[in-house]
Structures are given as C-alpha cells and as structure tokens.
Amino acid sequence: MTSGTPGAGGITGAGTGGANLGRGGTVSAGVAGSTSSGTAGSTSSGAAGSSSSGSGGVTGSGGMVPTGGTTGVYSCTPGVAELIITDCGYPTTTSNPLTATVFNENEVFRAIRPAGSWPNGVVQMFYNDEHAMTLGVRQVVVKDASGTTMMDYPVTPLATDPSTATNPQTGTTMLVGDQSGLDASLRPMWPSLFITDISADPSSRVGDWQQGGAPLAPNDIFGSWKSAVRTVDKTKSPVAVTITPDADPAKNNWNLGGGDPVPAGLSNEGYGAEARWNVSLKPGHSYRIQALVHDGDQNKGGGDSGEACVLFCTGGSCPSEGCGGTNCVSSETCPADGGTGTTCPEGFPACGPGALDPTMCPDSLVCANGCCLPMDS
C-alpha cells in the first residue's frame, strides 16, 4: 500500500484501496489504486479537525473530503472499482436521538481498507490505542436487594500475545435488559460493521448504526484485545450501569501475529489490532461502509467508541444471464446482500431495510441495531 506521511493531527492520503486515519484531522484520499498527496506525499494540517494540503486534499473525481458533521455525497463511476473516504456526518440534531450520539474515540481507527470485488469483498479495520481493543462483554453482574448474580458469556481469549482468531466470540450480544451487550448509547460493545447499498441513492445512510442498521460481527481478528464486565447495580436510584474492561495485556505495538500488512505510516500507542469482515457484494454496486469499535478504558459518558466511514465501489458489471439483467437481482446463483445475523428480542420488532420503517417504531422505542429498542437498554 502506498501512503504519504501524516503531519501533526493529520491524515495521510492512501492508495491501493486504503485510507489512513489520524488523530484529530480530516481525511485525504485518492481513488483506489492511486495516491493523493500534497508535496512529497505528505499532509500538513492545522488545528485538530481540519486539514490543509496541496492537491492531496481532494478525492479523485469526488471533490473535497467533508469535515466533521457535513453530509458529503459522492457517486461512484459504474463498473469502476474505487474508494472514497467520507466523514460519517454525525453528530447532528434530528428527530432520531441516535444521530446526536457523540463518538469520542474516532482516533483509535488508524485505517479502514475495503478490498475485493463481487461476489466477495473484505473490509479491514486497523486499530491502535493506549489500551487494547474491547472485543465484547464476558460477564454481567447484577446487584439488587437480594444479592449479586453473575452470568458469564464466551469471549475469544487472547491465547498468545499477539494472537489471531477466526469467527471470534464476542460475549453477550443481547440487545435489551440487564444482560445487554450494548453500551449506554445502544452501540454494540463488540467491533461492528454497518453496510448501506447506495447504488440507487448516493445520499442514503439507511444501514448506518444511527439509522437503525444491523451490526455485523468480524470474521477474523488479529493482534491484541481484551473483554469487559458489565455491572448493573439496582441498589441505586436510578439504576447504575457500568462497563469495566479487563486489564491490558502486554503491548504488542503493530505486531498483529498474522493478518494483513499494516498500512505504512500509522501511529502506534502500544496496542494494535485488525478486525476483518467478509461481505457479499453485487457487481457494479456502490456501498457506504461504517465501522464501530470500543477502546479499552471506557471512562467517558455514554461509552468510549469510535466510528469511521468509507464509500466503496465494487467495479465489474452484471452478467448478461442469471442475475436479472442489468439490475443484478439476487438469486441462488448470484451474490446477495450480507446477512445481519441479528435476531430481535421477543416483543421488539425488527426495523430498518426490509423491515419496519425506523420512524414507525412504537412510542418510547428507537430503531437501533436492526430492532426497535428502549433507549435505556
């Protein structure tokens, strides 16, 4: 992968389908397979949250990359594989309370790199922070007037340091109640991917977490990680819910113990990891990809979580036979949209694409993670 060198608080331009994400800056990226850069491949940035660069501040034909809170809309070129980095466009104030949720740890995302083409794509997310990545909640402790109960859930252990795991176990994935695996803002505690097919509507975000999209758990992880304990204290009023990550393992830096090559120029704070998702793609379609992750200290209100977004154009075209012509309609012989793996709790209807309109969730419920959930889950 070709990349520039980040300046203080900046982002490097990236080629070969990748994007490097740095602390506090905005993204500078070129079309997949090329490098977008200013002088000598470097990016210079001013105050955190902005980026100043030469020609490196633009995305191929996409124009200037938007900064935090903007709603940049880009269209892929049909049949051409390319990558466009975009600000996720949140937080923002709407009638949907999830859109106002603050992600205060976006800097833990060091790079996000979609790759492949239809029918099989791969999304690689590279994490690095001063604490190991949280893989999930391994235990829920409930305290009430009658005593304390504990329930254990399987989280893939760090067998060696660094380590690797396929189809890792991510602890409790319940969406409501005391045993929930969500943070206080209803975000999954496990690394999650959210996908929107934007082929028909480049401005669509219906698959985003903020819009009720259903999470996809990673297929593979590499490097260093740990789990956490959720405590629900009903002896307090209101009920106090805390999530406490385990102690950090030994630092592994960018030694991932396998996995994909780490993009050049990424910052290192001691704990590196890669999460990788396999996704089903359709030829010629465009996708908005959003990734969420939690860091390893969880000391901020609502949960310490980061998000990153990228637009990915798969390239190719629909076969002339067997896929419904140029519409590439899914069938038993054609690539289909990736499954969500989400099962809504009994009494809480499914919402989002292919289900109930998110705005139609019953009173006091909000569409989150593909289900109408109470805000105090």
On whether the CB atoms of residues 134 and 187 are closer than 8 A, the answer is: no
Is the pLDDT assigned to residue 10 strictly greater than 60?
Answer: no
Structure tokens at 268: 């290192």
Q: Are strands 225-233 and 133-144 parallel, antiparallel or unpaired?
A: parallel
The 3-state DSSP class for residue 210 equals helix
Structure tokens at 226: 């740990």
pLDDT in tens, 152-197: 999 999 999 999 999 999 999 999 999 999 999 999 999 999 999 9
Listed residue (264, 294, 258) closest to 276, CA to CA: 258
DSSP symbols for 62-123? GEEPP-TT------PPTT--EEEE-----S--SSSGGGG-----GGGEEEEEEEEETTEEEE
Instruction: Please give the pLDDT value at position 312.
Output: 84
Listed residue (196, 45, 97, 147) closest to 20, CA to CA: 45
Mean pLDDT over 301-327 rounds to: 67
Spatial distance between the Cα atoms of 22 and 266, rounded to a whole number of angstroms = 8
Spatial distance between the Cα atoms of 199 and 192, rounded to a whole number of angstroms = 22
- Break the chain into its structural domains and give their ranges: 5-374
- Higher-pLDDT residue of 200, 327: 200
Spatial distance between the Cα atoms of 112 and 75, rounded to a whole number of angstroms = 19
Residue 204 DSSP class: -
Structure tokens at 319: 């076969």
Instruction: Please give the pLDDT value at position 311.
Output: 85
Side chain identity at residue 50, one-letter code: S
Is the pLDDT assigned to residue 360 strictly greater than 70?
Answer: yes
Q: What rounded mean pLDDT belongs to the chain?
A: 77
Mean pLDDT over 125-143 rounds to: 97
Is the pLDDT assigned to residue 243 strictly greater than 70?
Answer: yes
Q: What is the pTM of this model?
A: 0.79
Q: Which of 45-59, 307-321, 336-350 has the lowest mean pLDDT?
A: 45-59
Q: Across the chain, where does the E strand assignment appear?
A: 5-6, 19-20, 42-43, 58-59, 63-64, 82-85, 109-117, 120-129, 133-144, 147-152, 163-166, 192-197, 220-223, 225-233, 240-245, 271-280, 286-294, 305-313, 365-368, 371-374
Terminal-residue alpha carbon distance, the chain: 42
Residue 10 DSSP class: -
Q: Which of 68-82, 129-143, 269-283 has the lowest mean pLDDT?
A: 68-82
C-alpha distances out from residue 43 to 36, 73, 264, 357, Å: 10, 23, 14, 42
Instruction: Please give the pLDDT value at position 2.
Output: 33
Spatial distance between the Cα atoms of 241 and 131, rounded to a whole number of angstroms = 22
Q: Which of 92-106, 216-230, 253-267, 335-349 has the lowest mean pLDDT?
A: 335-349
Query: Which of the listed ranges 1-5, 246-250, 317-321 does the model predict with the highest average pLDDT?
Result: 246-250
Spatial distance between the Cα atoms of 10 and 29, rounded to a whole number of angstroms = 12
Structure tokens at 62: 């996409």
Residue 114 preceded by cis peptide, ω within 30: no
Mean pLDDT over 71-93 rounds to: 73
